[in-house]
Amino acid sequence: MIAAAEPRADARTTRLLVVDPRTAAMADRRIGDLRHLLRPGDLLIVNDAATLPASLHGTTAGGAPIEVRLAGERADGTFTAVLFGAGDWRVRTEDRPPPPPVAAGERIAFAGIDAAVTAVDARSPRLLTLAFETHGPRLWRALYAAGRPVQYSYTRRPLALWDVQTPFAARPWAVEPPSAGLPLTWELLLGLRRRGVEIACVTHAAGLSSTGDAALDARLPLPERYEVPAAAVAAVAAARVRGCAVLAAGTTVVRALESAARRGGGRLVAARGITAQRLRGGDQVLVVDGLLTGMHEVGTSHFDLMEAFAPRELLLRASAFAAELGYQGHEFGDAMLVLAARTATPR
């Protein structure tokens, strides 16, 4: 499938492939058709994490150029990070040269801020823990001054930070955009609300989607921060009382909700913390009835998660169907709505 090379000038042009696992039916629609695909009383849950400028260029103590891509903030205020060698987003991640080796205790200098390497992963020397020299507001000012959005070689031009923000972005937790939310404009959300669809938010720190290292990529997603607030728990409970469906806008929403439900012993509870939750085909989904997501490639953790909602064979056929119709992939691409067992048939 062709990768979308830049943000859409008009989110309303986003195509939507609707897949019903019960009937194996597929339909080519537009994102605005959500107003008719969701029933009054259904609940759509979005990820309100804002996206950080998580790509930082700097130099090692020995003066070697290096790129650090933050992979998420840890509970103690340090950051998990992945190292890249010389070059930038214009070169495919898998074609970048290896970074120079760094050791725990070494400092990396960025524009206006330094960080100490506090740990190096035993399995991958490219995976580090960084402690920045400043904290609080000064740290955030420095990161926003020095950093740029993470992007990949299929993009056509340098991205601005606003290119990777959803309309409802709030806390700066994500290092790549929770991209299922990008086409959900306020106009569309208000249209859904007028039809009686409820909207709720969780926060999940969407992480890196690729490192260029096959062994490290196999470990993605890395543990990520999440919060499911009491308001979202109440909204899910109310939807259940109404007999209506709970739909997640993005795989990060699914992971946040399922992590909180497993913490509650199978019952959704308000929770926050770090999750390494992954879902695959055959796994029981405790909270979510349907999934609005992007067009994901086979072999990714996103595609694995989709198999918890629909059979692999159906998803492969859906991907091939979408490719034939010219759908685009990656974060600025088109969307798929998987309607699971408790979700009403489109009308």
pLDDT digits (tens, 9 = 90+) for 282-323: 899 999 999 999 999 888 899 999 999 999 999 999 999 999
Tell me the average pLDDT across 182-187. 97
73 strand-pairing partners: 79
Is pTM, for the whole model, over 0.85? Answer: yes
All residues at 6 or more sequence positions from 107 whose CB lies less than 8 Å from its CB, including other chains:
61, 114, 115, 116, 117
pLDDT digits (tens, 9 = 90+) for 192-228: 999 999 999 999 999 999 998 999 999 999 999 999 9
**Thinking of the domain 55-146, which architecture would CATH place it in?**
Beta Barrel (2.40)
Whole-angstrom Cα distance, residue 204 to residue 253? 7
Q: Are 25 and 198 in contact (CB under 8 A)?
A: no
pLDDT digits (tens, 9 = 90+) for 28-48: 999 999 999 999 999 999 999
Task: Tell me how many degrees the CA angle 148-138-71 measures, rounded to the nearest 5.
Answer: 40
pLDDT band, residue 236 (cuts 50/70/90): very high
Predicted confidence at residue 347, as pLDDT, reads 29
Q: Are 20 and 346 in contact (CB under 8 A)?
A: yes
Q: Are 68 and 114 in contact (CB under 8 A)?
A: no
Taken in order 170, 175, 176, 179, the sign of the CA dihedral is: negative
Asked whether the predicted pLDDT for residue 344 surpasses 50, the reply is no
pLDDT digits (tens, 9 = 90+) for 94-131: 999 999 999 999 999 999 899 999 999 999 999 999 99
All residues at 6 or more sequence positions from 118 whose CB lies less than 8 Å from its CB, including other chains:
78, 104, 129, 130, 131
Predicted confidence at residue 341, as pLDDT, reads 56
pLDDT digits (tens, 9 = 90+) for 53-77: 999 999 998 999 999 999 999 989 9
Q: Are 288 and 297 in contact (CB under 8 A)?
A: no
Tell me the average pLDDT across 148-169. 97
The CATH code of domain 2-51+165-339 reads 3.40.1780.10
Predicted confidence at residue 51, as pLDDT, reads 98
In the chain, where the domains are located = 2-51+165-339, 55-146
Distance set, CA 283 to CA 21, 149, 231, 260, 279 (Å): 16, 33, 26, 16, 6
Please tell me the total number of residues recorded for the chain in this structure: 347
User: How far does CA 149 lie from the centroid of its chain?
Assistant: 14
**Mean pLDDT over all residues of the chain?**
94
pLDDT band, residue 345 (cuts 50/70/90): very low
